[in-house]
Structure 1
């Protein structure tokens, strides 16, 4: 146990020290000693556990920061702070390439990519781990790296795509065109699908399986408008008997929910940031509250409005807070941070079927979440354009303030500019974030800057 704890500490310290900028590993001495960390399954498991603990602490898939900022950047959250800050600039869509939030998102994602690459290299060079175990570890690391690259691509467009820990290469790496990033992700995720199994290694689903890889690959295909390939993968997920739409809406965000594909486990029964960050009562919101435009998309009888949203009346005005996760007292035994859940596969499948004019086939998938929320189902006749609009509305009601869904869904549908209705400062170029100025100053090969910045 002391040996494992030492290895975890070593990985976390090395990664933090070496990745404060884009894979800024100043000397080869900073790299993980792969011969020790990956000498057997026990120590390799410790390395992977450290990686997931770090993802839970801070990453694009960790509940908290990025999903808050993307919800504020779009039209789900209103920022009630009054002091100028980089986070308020994001809400106001007045950000520049010096925005610290955007720099931290970039740097944090690349830190995790560096760690994933270190695991991939360590597993490849190991002589003490069986081939089947090597495949599983490689699949885990390649999948987490792919998720980081996917979010970076959706946020920044053309991005560096480092596939090693070689500091000489990574410190001067150029950007890969967005279309090539997606092609690379296809290749990597197809490999992950071949490496991972359908079953979970842990019954709590804290380690991804093949279905997680398929869901991410389907999202890549949909970003490329490759609807048919996405349909095939999403049908495999929705027809998998180990997943079910949770009928009891109060259990959706519990760790044992039947629809969970993958979730991250908090340490020491700590309450999730999703439960604590948005909580306020008997006062004006001191940071964020749900926007009026979002609240207006719900009917009063929608069970999601009744169970996932809290109402606070103050000064004659009603304000609304996010209440998907409930445990706020740090005795959390039943809530893990959900990364992917079955409802996403259902709504993505409805979307990709609709894009192929398979309207009748799409309706049951969009109606599944509506019926659970006690809303009337959508019925024929309905046009393709109207059904796409209804799917986006259902996406918003189902996934508000989760994983940046609103931004990603509108971007995929080519409808980000509809935010101008509720966001007066929104411009067309806001579909991408700027490459952080600090990174360009360190590496001129990251030029040109994204348009508008």
Structure 2
């Protein structure tokens, strides 16, 4: 991992300039090797300000920002095609499976993740040292920071494999940290998420669900269990989320991306009032050929003609006799009052539960959860007989239709069920080692303990 020099020690907290003037930051002298976080967290207001800075960082510059992993991994798999002939940001290489360890977009993906992990660690250290904040607030702040750090580390583990599992702001540790085996990362994530669950509450601390709750941490733990093949434990967590009175399945296709829906588990509010989500702008083009990305033909053809998602979530653009499709899940590019960027929604829980049940050969029960999104989209429900392999293939296909351009879903879903190679091998230059991205070269040069580089790079 990159060495964060002393001026970076409080950088995480300087993210607070995105917040309102009533949220204060206490200035402290730079420490020799770690943040003096006991001085920062003198009251709950400053601690919450730091936590708000972490959420702002997720929204503005992280894999969970609306303009980052959805586009990167959509291009990397088969949901997006790339059209720019002048781009120098690393996206052309990613779309053609020609990325290397100097790719600019991969470095951004890696480094922004670890910057937010660093901020989460600073919050965890600060709240641990604070003596003046109530136990209830300490639990809430620690639970949220742990959950966010876990979400970022889980993303990195899936994209890069063995990764540094950083739990400190001490740069003397971070500058020489070694990688943790990907299986051990999952074990550590399980423990961190269990602790987060024990600290958080089900009820949201904001009615707009812009801060995570216990159920969001449970969803992340269920994802870890799925990766470990712990189907029964994952099933219990996912059913608990579905049965919670906090959530209700959204049956109106036109309201899925409305910020007020009770199907939303967690969403990020745009920086300024009236701003559109990043997703609403990054995929938009009109009255011309696409200058950057468009939905792939394979994705468009994955929909039945009668599928309402094709009607409401994508838009055809015809120019000089050629038609492309753009993603249009988020529609308000300006004067936005109804849309926030959704990180997790109930439909994901339904499809993960269907997958968990199929893995246990409970196919009949799984069909109920698989058919919910199909029926809302106006397509016929699936029925028995259906083999386990057929059911898994249908779940992967339904995930593609439901979550295209959302947070890299296609990549993670295919990889989780072992179908990444067989599904993406038709792409130019695809090789089996592409299941992982390379660790950025410049971080390996700074810290040789990150060696060996991932296979193939």
Q: What CA distance in whole angstroms lies between the structure 1 residues aligned with 2:14 and 2:263? A: 32
What is the distance in 1 between the residues matched to 2:140 and 2:61?
A: 24
| Counterpart-to-counterpart distance in 1, 2:424 and 2:410 | 14
The one of 49, 53, 70 equivalent to 2:52 is 49
Structure 1 residues 191 and 306: CA distance shift in structure 2, 3 A: same
Identify the residue that residue 131 of structure 1 maps to in structure 2. Answer: 135
Say whether residues 1:76 and 2:63 are aligned partners.
no
- Where 2:229 maps in the other structure, the secondary structure is coil
For 1:317, the equivalent position in structure 2 comes to: 322
Task: Give the corresponding residue for 1:95.
Answer: 99
Which stretches in structure 2 are left out of the alignment for 5+ residues? Answer: 1-9, 18-29
C-alpha distance in 2 between matches for 1:314 and 1:139: 50
SS at match of 2:232: helix
Q: How many residues align?
A: 434
SS in 2 for 1:124: helix
Q: Paired residue for 1:203?
A: 207
User: Is 1:442 aligned to residue 413 of structure 2?
Assistant: no
Question: How far did 1:427 drift?
Answer: 0.7
* Structure 2 CA distance for aligned equivalents of residues 10 and 443 of structure 1: 22
Cα RMSD of the aligned pairs, angstroms, is 1.6
Residues 1:296 and 2:295 are matched in the alignment: no
CA distance in 2, matches of 1:43, 1:420: 47
Matched, 1:326 2:328: no
Question: Match for residue 7 of structure 2?
Answer: none
Aligned to 1:271: 276
Which whole-Å deviations, capped at 9, do the CAs of 1:247-292 have from their partners, x for residues lacking one? 1111111110121000111122211110011111111111100000
Is residue 162 of structure 2 the alignment partner of residue 162 of structure 1? Answer: no
Q: State the distance in 1 between where 2:41 and 2:336 align.
A: 33
Deviation at 1:36?
3.4
Distance of 1:445 and 1:123 partners within structure 2:
30
Shift of 1:83: 2.7
Distance of 2:14 and 2:445 partners within structure 1? 27
Residue correspondence of structure 1 range 185-200 to structure 2 within 5 A: 185-200=189-204
* Preserved CA contact (<8 Å) 2:78 2:424: no
**Cα distance change, pair 333–9 in 1 and its aligned pair in 2 (3 A):** farther
Q: Please, what TM-score do these two structures have when normalized by structure 2? A: 0.92
Report the CA distance between 1:88 and its aligned residue: 0.5
* 2:13 corresponds to: 11
TM-score (norm 1): 0.93
Greater shift after overlay, 81-90 or 307-316? 81-90
1:282 aligns with 2:284: no
Q: Is the CA contact (8 Å cut-off) linking 2:33 and 2:172 kept in structure 1?
A: no
Aligned to 2:397: 393
- 1-side partners of 2:284 and 2:359: how far apart? 38
Please give the secondary structure, in 1, of the residue aligned with 2:53. Answer: helix
Inter-partner Cα distance in structure 2 for 1:377 and 1:420: 27
The 2-side partners of 1:325 and 1:236 are apart by: 29
Give the conservation status (yes or no) of the 8 Å contact 1:14–1:31.
no
User: Per-residue CA shift, 1:422-453, capped at 9, x if unaligned?
Assistant: 41211100000001111111101000010011
CA shift for structure 1 position 421: 4.8
